[in-house]
Amino acid sequence: MRKSGLLVHKILHTLGDMVQEGMSTWELELAAVKMMEDAGAKPAFKNYYVPAAGERYRFVLCTSINEEIVHGMPNAKKFLKSGDIVSIDTGVSLNGYFGDSALTVPVGAVSDKVKKLLQVTEQSLELAIDKVREGNRLFDICGTVEKHVVDNGFSIVREYVGHGIGTQLHEEPQVPNYVDRRNENPRLREGMVLAIEPMVNAGKPDAKVLKDKWTAVAKDGSYSAHFEHCVAVTANGPWVLTRP
């Protein structure tokens, strides 16, 4: 999983550095495909079947712009412009083990509010990572994200959550970015790996899926940010597998 995680990190940060005004999200897709092929990795997202969509996903990346929360699809006719933000989410499988990560980057100059949205979302992930310790419980992670986001005036998307990960892309437990008392609250054990992924809206938390059956957007049109890491529970504390 560490090898998969480091490859995902390399892909995401290469793509993040490529992002510029005037480019299409399809250019990011092509670059990601080449990097995966060169590394001998299988894309985790392409051909992944999602019952809610009723079909398999067709791309190796999710590229979600501005009010798009997650599952935005690369498009040769969708061009980035200054003031946009773009979330890039991807995963790979190497030797049967998965890595999954996401980041959101600004295109050119963005407003102070958008800068704060990106900063707070990433900070909430870092604070949550620190809770990935043997003996803690799942709600320690969920509640940490929720508190930091809400305290800073933003809102948590509730329809989409993090997850366990290992020999499958999505494993138990689900990892919401808020405390959901209807869910179980398992104790964290050494060897568990969690994909923690805050999805944060600048406005209200409500989401809807577009007619393409994939792209989830903020209902009120507000910007949305998304960051994700895979984190292992170890005897020595949290180990982020998706960064060096």
Amino acid sitting at position 52: A
* Strand-pair partners of 187: 137
- Residue 145: per-residue pLDDT: 98
Written as six digits, the tokens of 123 are 């900070």
Q: What are the C-alpha distances in Å from 4 to residues 11, 41, 178?
A: 11, 8, 28
Chain segment 143-195, per-residue pLDDT in tens: 999 999 999 999 999 999 999 999 999 999 999 999 988 888 999 999 999 99
The pTM of the full predicted model, rounded to 2 decimals, is 0.97
| Exposure letters 176-196 (e unless 16+ CB within 10 A, then b) | bbbbbeeeeeeebeeebbbbb
Residue located via tokens 């180990």: 239
Domain that includes residue 218, residue range: 2-240
| Exposure letters 211-223 (e unless 16+ CB within 10 A, then b) | eeebbbbbeeebb
CA distance from start to end of the chain: 13
Written as six digits, the tokens of 203 are 């406005």
- Residue 41: per-residue pLDDT: 98
Q: Which residues of the chain have pLDDT under 70?
A: none
Separation of CA 19 from chain center: 17
The CATH number of whichever domain residue 168 belongs to comes to 3.90.230.10
- Residue 183: per-residue pLDDT: 84
- Residue 182: per-residue pLDDT: 86
As a whole number of angstroms, the distance between CA 233 and CA 208 comes to 33
By CB neighbour count within 10 A (0-12 exposed, 13-18 middle, 19+ buried), where does 201 fall? buried
Chain segment 44-61, per-residue pLDDT in tens: 999 999 999 999 999 999
Are the C-beta atoms of 144 and 127 separated by less than 8 Å?
yes
- Residue 181: per-residue pLDDT: 87
Are the C-beta atoms of 149 and 123 separated by less than 8 Å?
no
* Strand-pair partners of 70: 216
What is the number of structural domains in the chain? 1
Residue closest to 64 by CA, chosen among 121, 116, 10: 121
- Residue 43: per-residue pLDDT: 98
